[in-house]
């Protein structure tokens, strides 16, 4: 039997969890073989074209208390901002000019930006591109307004599948978050989800359960990000999440979700230079370029104050180094 045959997982066989636990911890040659299998699956399912997204972090106000994130309201050291629609539109126009087809609007969970977001979505959509949101938990009505304004997709990571861990670290209920994910799907937006690897109390068994929860959600986008300790948060003294386990989780996600968009997140690069290239080599097919103006970007420290900021240049070089092409076939040389 092919050791990377995930049929028992996809069929939710009794052995599913132990199969995933074994594969999440592979190293050496076996890890390389897992990555090669993930790349095969990506190619065979026509998912090799790398999607480049342009993210704008439109507000760093947040209602949530996630212990890993410096946007939490308890962090009084952070200067807060909320962009005007005109500012976001100027940035979005620049993103479109660079040939990027997805504008990604990200913020803390900030109800006061809901109205502005609707206006921004409508105006960005006039440029004929995709709008992706990552704005946290909202009412069903607010998700409907976003959808009606033209939003194509929404990322709401479950962060961890453990109800106990979620409650302890995020301070609210996982079921509420999963309800939101269901609303997003039911409204017809594409759903992105994912986990953080390296949270306190997390075991390999929990990470295997994360992948099984993703299997239930059948997301269009799936991400695994290593934990980054963030200054001025309760978890500031914890170590980095394990990059190799994260890469294995990316590879398993690719095999489980052959056509999904799977990012190689900037947190990989922050912990290990070349980490995003390793993510691509493990089966990822998305890179997100940051377009938040520097003065605001410095106050948006979800991945620590000196986070790795992905430029278009870095993204294109990573794509080329992985032997892949950007979606739409725009090569590095064409842009330079
Ligand atoms: N380390 C890793 N991922 C983080 N996120 C936020 N803070 C951290 C951190 N310190 C991720 C969460 C959230 C997304 C916007 O960023 O998964 O959903």
Instruction: Report, as an integer, the average pLDDT of 195-216.
Output: 98
Pick the residue whose CA is nearest to atom 13 on ligand 1.
157
Q: Is the pLDDT of residue 280 over 60?
A: yes
Q: What value does the mean pLDDT take over residues 138-167?
A: 98
> Does 331 score more than 90 pLDDT?
no
| Residue 300, pLDDT score | 80
Mean pLDDT of the chain: 95
The Cα 60–Cα 72 span in angstroms is: 9
**234 CA → ligand 1 middle, Å:** 14
**Closest-lying ligand 1 atom to the alpha carbon of residue 230:** 10
The answer, yes or no, to whether any atom of ligand 1 lies below 6 A from the CB of 193, is no
- Number of the ligand 1 atom closest to the C-alpha atom of 69: 7
pLDDT at 228 over 80: yes
SS (H, E, C) the chain: CCCCCCHHHHCCCCCHHHHHHHHHCCCHHHHHHHHHHHHHHHHHCCCCCEEEEEEEEEECCCCCCCCCCCCCCCCCCCCCCECCHHHHHHHHHHHHHCCCCEEEEEECCCHHHHHHHHHHHHHHHCCCCEEEEECCCCCHHHHHHHHHHCCCEEECCCECCCHHHHHHHHCCCHHHHHHHHHHHHHCCCEEEEEEEECCCCCCHHHHHHHHHHHHHHCCCEEEEEECCCCCCCCCCCCCCCCHHHHHHHHHHHHHHCCCCECECCHHHHHHCCCHHHHHHHCCCCEEEEECCCHHHHCCCCCCCCCCCCCCHHHHHHHHHHCCCCECCCCCHHHHC
Residue 1: which pLDDT band, with cuts at 50, 70 and 90?
very low
Distance from the alpha carbon of residue 167 to the mean position of ligand 1, in angstroms: 16
- When pLDDT is averaged across residues 18-33 and rounded to a whole number, the result is 98
Does ligand 1 come within 6 angstroms of the Cβ of 158?
Answer: no
**Lookup: tokens for 261:** 């968009």
Percentage of the chain modeled with pLDDT above 70: 97
Q: Can you give the pLDDT at residue 305? A: 72
Most informative mutation of 66, 69, 224 for ligand 1 (most atoms within 8 A of CB): 69
Work out the pLDDT band at 301, boundaries 50, 70, 90.
Answer: confident
Looking at the predicted structure, is the pLDDT value of residue 335 above 80? no
Q: What is the mean pLDDT of residues 70-95?
A: 96
User: Which ligand 1 atom minimizes the distance to the CA of 302?
Assistant: 7
Asked if residue 336 has pLDDT above 90, the reply is no
Nearest CA to ligand 1 atom 16: 302
CA distance 213 to 215: 5
Total Cβ atoms within 10 A of residue 288: 23
- According to the model, what pLDDT value does residue 2 have? 67
- Per-residue confidence (pLDDT) for residue 330, from 0 to 100: 53
What atom of ligand 1 comes closest to residue 194's alpha carbon? Answer: 17
What's this model's pTM, rounded to 2 decimal places?
0.95
Q: Is 224 in the pocket of ligand 1 (CB under 6 A)?
A: no
- Pocket lining: 120 vs ligand 1, CB cutoff 6 Å: no
pLDDT digits (tens, 9 = 90+) for 154-181: 999 999 999 999 999 999 999 999 999 9
């Amino acid at each position: 039997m092919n050791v990377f045959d995930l049929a028992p997982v996809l069929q939710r066989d009794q052995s599913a969890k132990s199969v995933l636990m074994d594969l999440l911890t592979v190293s050496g040659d076996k890890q390389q073989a897992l990555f090669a299998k993930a790349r095969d699956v990506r190619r065979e399912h026509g998912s090799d074209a790398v999607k480049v997204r342009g993210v704008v972090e439109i507000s760093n106000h947040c209602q949530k208390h996630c212990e890993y994130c410096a946007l939490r309201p308890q962090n009084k050291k952070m200067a807060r901002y909320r962009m005007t629609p005109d500012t976001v539109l100027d940035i979005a126009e620049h993103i479109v000019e660079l040939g990027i087809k997805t504008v990604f609007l990200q913020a803390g969970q900030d109800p006061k930006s809901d109205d502005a977001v609707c206006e921004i979505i409508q105006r960005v959509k006039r440029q004929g591109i995709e709008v992706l949101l990552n704005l946290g938990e909202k009412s069903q009505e607010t998700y409907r307004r976003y959808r009606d304004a033209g939003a194509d997709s929404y990322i709401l990571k479950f962060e961890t599948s453990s109800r106990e861990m979620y409650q302890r670290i995020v301070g609210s209920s996982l079921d509420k978050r999963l309800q939101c994910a269901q609303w997003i799907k039911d409204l017809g937006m594409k759903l992105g989800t994912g986990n953080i690897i390296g949270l306190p109390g997390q075991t390999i068994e929990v990470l295997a359960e994360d992948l099984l929860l993703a299997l239930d959600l059948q997301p269009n986008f799936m991400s695994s990000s290593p934990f980054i300790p963030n200054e001025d948060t309760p978890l500031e003294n914890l170590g980095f999440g394990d990059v190799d386990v994260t890469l294995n989780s990316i590879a398993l996600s690719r095999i489980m979700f052959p056509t999904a968009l799977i990012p190689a997140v900037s947190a990989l690069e922050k912990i290990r230079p070349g980490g995003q290239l390793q993510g691509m080599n493990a089966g990822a097919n998305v890179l997100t370029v940051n377009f938040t103006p520097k003065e605001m970007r410095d106050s948006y420290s979800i991945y620590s104050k000196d986070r790795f900021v992905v430029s278009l240049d870095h993204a294109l070089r990573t794509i080329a180094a992985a032997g892949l092409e950007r979606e739409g076939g725009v090569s590095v040389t064409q842009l330079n």
